[in-house]
Amino acid sequence: MKTRAILTHRFSTPLGRMLVCTSDNSVCLLEFDERKNLDIECQDLQKRLKAAFVTGKNHLTKQTQQQILEYFAGTRTHFNLPLMTWGTAFQNDAWQSLQKIPYGQTRSYQEQASAIERPTAVRAVASANSHNRIAIVIPCHRVIGKNGSLTGYAGGLERKRWLLAHEKDNVQKKRATHNL
């Protein structure tokens, strides 16, 4: 019997090394190497997919790396990668709503909860966001506290601050270019 594989590839970004995992022609994990509990996420992924990790590259790991590096270069604002998310229906609703937050903008957890028609589920939304396993592409870094504070980013608040500033700067540069 052939064992299912999870292909893993690490690459460098301006904010540190990232790990991309693919299986069944989908990205199933994209995280910073130093992410808290990354080892637990990987064990969970292996168990859920009943698969073994194999180091290597394919078209999808290369495409993911290219799109992430384009994001960091400021030339990509949207991603078109096939994603495999696993979670409850509520978590998947929360993750889909994250993907609707425009590049360079933020939403509060309250606004995200309202967007999925669960306005009283603010804490559940925050919990769902913390279980997002596909960093940047599913942009949980765009969610902030109701008072505008930076809260809860598994990649670290310094990375969250950098990502938000990066997007805001790129939006301002594009506006300035269009106004010339």
CATH number, position 35: 3.30.160
Between CA 18 and CA 13 the distance in angstroms is 7
Domain membership of residue 79 (yes or no) is no
pLDDT at 1 over 60: no
Instruction: Choose one of 73, 101, 121: the last residue of a domain.
Output: 73
Q: Which residues are catalytic?
A: 140
Between CA 138 and CA 95 the distance in angstroms is 7
pTM of the model: 0.92
Residue 36 pLDDT level (bands cut at 50, 70, 90): confident
Secondary structure class of 152 (helix, strand, coil): coil
**Which stretch of DSSP H or E encloses residue 16?**
strand 16-23
Q: What CATH number is attached to the domain comprising 157?
A: 1.10.10.10
Q: Taking the CA of residue 16 as centre, how many other CA atoms within 13 Å lie in the half-sphere pointing to its CB?
A: 15
- Based on the domain organization, do 109 and 35 belong to the same domain? no
pLDDT at 180 over 80: no
> What does the pLDDT read at residue 170?
92
- Based on the domain organization, do 124 and 166 belong to the same domain? yes
Residue 4 pLDDT level (bands cut at 50, 70, 90): confident
Q: Which domain holds residue 173?
A: 89-178
pLDDT at 178 over 60: yes
Domain membership of residue 98 (yes or no) is yes
